[in-house]
Structure 1
């Protein structure tokens, strides 16, 4: 239960069908994990480590606030909450090593979402558990997102998140704790043919999410329920109003990267996790330099670019090093 309308009404529908329902709230993104280093996830209570020369094999440093000048941090596995690592030269084992900048002022809604989920659970009189998959999300989903963007490709984090986290880690957690079924608020359905279960589109095609579930292990389907999949969004809203959950109608629909949320400027968000390489923007057909960009990792093949003075929209069609080649013909798009 995310605190949103769809997962909340899924719980309502399950109770109506006679299921013994318990809610679970997943925390998959940590408010404050906003960095341009990768492969570091968890640090505990130190305030200053200025000038340390070697921290080989350290496994947990939650809450360090200053690590200026450290020269070697080989093998760190867990560094959550670091606010300053200016001058760190070497962090072995990090896939995308860089200056780690943790933003303490991230406007994350995770706590509000939990309060909303708790409010729904109280109204429905069902237990609500909390699970934390922050590290798993970072390692199995977000590292892949950064890697794909660094190569000029546009990933779909929701596909990975559903496979690795919701129907991977959470499914295992549910099984280990003795639950028969895992239900979510996805708009999708499960059909059975000749004893085999298949993922199918939702009744409301305007809200269908079966595409985002396409990569989950098919064996999961025997243990999964999609209660809202047979309803339209308008019907779900009507049900919410009828069961004293009308406050959910005031919440905006969840958008953006799975669990990370919608960002006003996604490129700026990505800069927190990688060191951008600026370079030239060159017209493919003429080799004419049209301008400079602020980071090749922030542009994906096929992306449109606004370039002043050009009569038509331009598209990123190729990359070479830190150079982006553009053309008004988007069908020329190709990889590196």
Structure 2
């Protein structure tokens, strides 16, 4: 059997299926590799076996070899343990960013090279280009599906060895291509949510690992509004799941999470979706990662996203001696959340990003000052 030049990460979804199809159509020597990143926990909610069968079917349809690797232990140690620690600290982590860095573009890349491949390919909506002596990570052409936000931790080594065959495509076009090629995944529903949770109840899942500790819900002025089941179940700006009934003297309007005091187990809520308590102009980050290996400058202007699918926001970035960032936004930002990532762009080029450590939101500042 000839050694494939490219190993495609086949997930059992339509995106990776078309990524493999396009490479085959281009005459490339290709094989598929399915990564199992989560061990079946007996809940019946894990779709890994169904996805594996679909991946096998796609490879069979395309006439390419199929490989399987179990990365569940690596995922647990490199992604899930950090995920739990962040939630226990009251932050809201993004496991997709870590999964890409620790599993898909580390262990998967290593496995592909062990199989003799030169490059890997995935079904991400992103692009790679080489310019000015560096590899660049570019947004996907379909801005509604662009996944460069989740890929910002990639560096020159990974980008030089990676192909994104569907990065130039629109999602609607992609499904039509899959249908025309007779791929069994052409009408498969897109997966949603965190990969290891899937469609199941998030609070129930998290409760298996982090014991619930009920506490008070208060408004920003300190008045008791109700009780919460555990501050780590909630994230800033969240509306769902608060289960606040009618509150005497308050309008019949939705409530939103505007602050978390983890030390005192208090969840702060307010009724204004644009509550001033949720607004910030400045964020501070942990040590940043740069796709080309270094920052563009010690101080520069660019655009940023503090969450997936957010519109570009103009900002000024200051890089400290220790590699952390201070990002100042031209206009107020809603619900910038510690634990999530701030990702920086120059046009379509992703410069890199960092985990958000803190912001100047008034309630967050007040809680920090009280704890000091």
TM range (shorter): 0.7 to 0.9
Structure 1 residue 318 and structure 2 residue 260: aligned?
A: yes
For 1:303 and 1:152, locate their aligned partners in 2 and report how far apart those are by CA, in whole Å. Answer: 14
* Equivalent residue number for residue 278 of structure 1: 214
SS in 2 for 1:178: coil
Q: Which has the higher strand share?
A: 2
* Equivalent residue number for residue 149 of structure 1: 87
1:19 to 28, 31, 43: 28
For 2:256 and 2:46, locate their aligned partners in 1 and report how far apart those are by CA, in whole Å. Answer: 34
2:134 touches 2:156 (CA, 8 Å); kept in 1? no
For 2:176 and 2:132, locate their aligned partners in 1 and report how far apart those are by CA, in whole Å. Answer: 36
**Shift of residue 261 of structure 1?**
4.5
TM-score by length of 1: 0.74
Within 5 Å, give how 1:231-270 maps onto structure 2: 231-245=169-183, 247-257=184-194, 259-270=195-206
For 2:90 and 2:235, locate their aligned partners in 1 and report how far apart those are by CA, in whole Å. Answer: 4
Structure 1 residue 309 and structure 2 residue 309: aligned?
A: no
CA distance 1:325–1:242, change in 2 (3 Å): closer
2:234 touches 2:257 (CA, 8 Å); kept in 1? no
5+ residue gaps, structure 1, are 33-103
For 1:238 and 1:314, locate their aligned partners in 2 and report how far apart those are by CA, in whole Å. Answer: 40
* Equivalent residue number for residue 86 of structure 1: none
5+ residue gaps, structure 2, are 1-9, 280-361
TM-score by length of 2: 0.67
* Equivalent residue number for residue 59 of structure 2: 121
1:316 touches 1:325 (CA, 8 Å); kept in 2? yes
SS in 2 for 1:281: strand
SS in 2 for 1:170: helix
**Shift of residue 318 of structure 1?**
2.9
1:277 touches 1:297 (CA, 8 Å); kept in 2? no
**Shift of residue 314 of structure 1?**
3.3
For 1:176 and 1:170, locate their aligned partners in 2 and report how far apart those are by CA, in whole Å. Answer: 10
For 1:284 and 1:205, locate their aligned partners in 2 and report how far apart those are by CA, in whole Å. Answer: 37
CA distance 1:132–1:176, change in 2 (3 Å): same
Work out the number of aligned pairs and report it: 262
CA distance 1:201–1:314, change in 2 (3 Å): closer
